[in-house]
Amino acid sequence: MIGRSAGLWLSGGGQRHIFHLRTGEATITLQDVEVLFGLRVDEEPLHARYEPPPGQTWVTELTRLNHFVPDVAGQISGQSRVQLSALCTYLEGLDPVMDGTLQDDVDRHARLYLLIIFGGILFPNSAGAFVSLRYLVFLEHLDRLGDYSWGGAVLAYLYRCLCRASVGVVRDVCGFFALLQLWVWERMLPFQPVPRHHLEIDMPYARRWTAGFDRDVDTHHSILPFRDQLDHMTDDALFIWMLYSAILDGLPPFCKAGQGGWRLRCPLIHLDIVEDHMPECVLRQFGHTQSIPLDVRHELRHYQRDDRAAVDDIFWLSWMSSSTVGRTGWAL
């Protein structure tokens, strides 16, 4: 299903970030990110410098904030990536957090867990083995975590991964697959299993799908039937366009705090990644008649630009400026 999604991204959407379906064009938007997972989409963008503070390296920053000294030869990739397994092993050796644990020790645990979540769930690479230490910029002051648009960063990263998989030469696709999978389950009726929970107070909408995997009940190893159903899904009744209108009032406030910007055409930023959020291409998802979208400023090989590229701050600032100026407006 994931691989087929990348193919549909190519045929309809390398430039507009959409899936070209038989029922019409659709995509994952900021609305989906915030409603399903409660990730903020209306705060500061997640951008960061390439270099660590003067006189430091990313490894020394990791040690300063978490007291973890990794094996540079075996646990560090390049200058800014650490093995997730090394973080897990180090965490297992720490004393558990108790009522009397010092706040500094609690913060160390929190930073390490967040790095594992970033590298293993929200922003994984195709191998799923390393996490960028550049996230430490946002983890030094944990009380400021809510000041950033983590939902926008997750969507930017997923867009970029789909672009790389569909247009580039990479063999594997990565990103926050739980978002993509639940988006498919919520909107495409042929692939929708039975929800396991009712809507709960103070929980994101994705909570209704959480459950263990039962091999006797749940479908598995059905790639070809899934692809066949997707290719022949021509009935509008099988795709839910207006998904959340009936349940918004029952959601916790943090799952709809940014709804004023859900239809905003704007750049999505994850560190050095800049991708366009283009709700004007999927107005049917917001209850409007679809019109002809605006032209797209699109660099064909934009997917090649990521934090592994050897660039300096001057290039990065120029790239970010050219990628964001003039790319904001309302879809309707």
Query: What is the structure's pLDDT at 235?
Result: 74
Q: Is the same domain home to 174 and 297?
A: yes
Calpha distance 203→291 (Å, rounded): 35
**Overall number of domains in the chain:** 2
Q: How far is CA 49 from CA 36, 115, 136, in A?
A: 30, 18, 11
Same domain, 126 and 255: no
Domain end, chosen from 87, 118, 147, is at: 147
Does residue 51 fall inside a structural domain?
A: no
**67 domain-assigned:** yes
My answer on whether 166 and 286 are in the same domain is yes
**Full residue range of the structural domain in which residue 117 is found:** 58-147
Residue in 320, 317, 321, 326 with CA at minimum distance from that of residue 265: 326
Encoding tokens for residue 240?
Answer: 């839910």
The closest of 2, 4, 26 to 278, measured between CA atoms, is 26
Q: Do both 112 and 143 map to the same domain?
A: yes
Do the Cβ atoms of 24 and 255 come closer than 8 Å?
Answer: no
Residue 201 domain-assigned (yes or no): no
Residues 186 and 323 in one domain: yes
The answer as to whether 273 is a domain residue is yes
Confirm if 35 and 26 have CB atoms less than 8 A apart. no
Q: Are residues 165 and 123 both part of a single domain?
A: no
| Per-residue confidence (pLDDT) for residue 220, from 0 to 100 | 59
Same-domain status, 121 and 267: no
**Does residue 309 lie within any of the structural domains?**
yes
For residue 90, being part of any structural domain is answered with yes
Q: Are residues 319 and 239 in the same domain?
A: yes
- Indicate whether 39 and 107 sit together in one domain: no
Residues of the chain scoring pLDDT < 50: 11-13, 310-312, 315
- Written as one letter, the residue type at 152 is G
Domain boundary among 85, 113, 147: 147
Asked if 7 and 227 touch (Cβ cutoff 8 Å), the reply is no
- A 10 A CB-CB count for 307 gives 17
Q: Are residues 155 and 284 in the same domain?
A: yes
Could you identify the residue written with the tokens 């704007």?
266
Instruction: State residue 105 phi and psi, 5-degree precision.
Output: -70, -35
> Are both 275 and 133 inside the same structural domain?
no
Residue 89 in contact with residue 236, Cβ under 8 Å?
A: no
DSSP run (H or E) holding 268: strand 264-270
Q: Hey, what are 39's tokens?
A: 């990730």
Task: Say if residue 288 is in the same domain as residue 239.
Answer: yes
User: Is 75 inside any structural domain?
Assistant: yes
The answer to whether residue 202 is domain-embedded is: no
∠ CA 141-143-149, rounded to 5°: 90
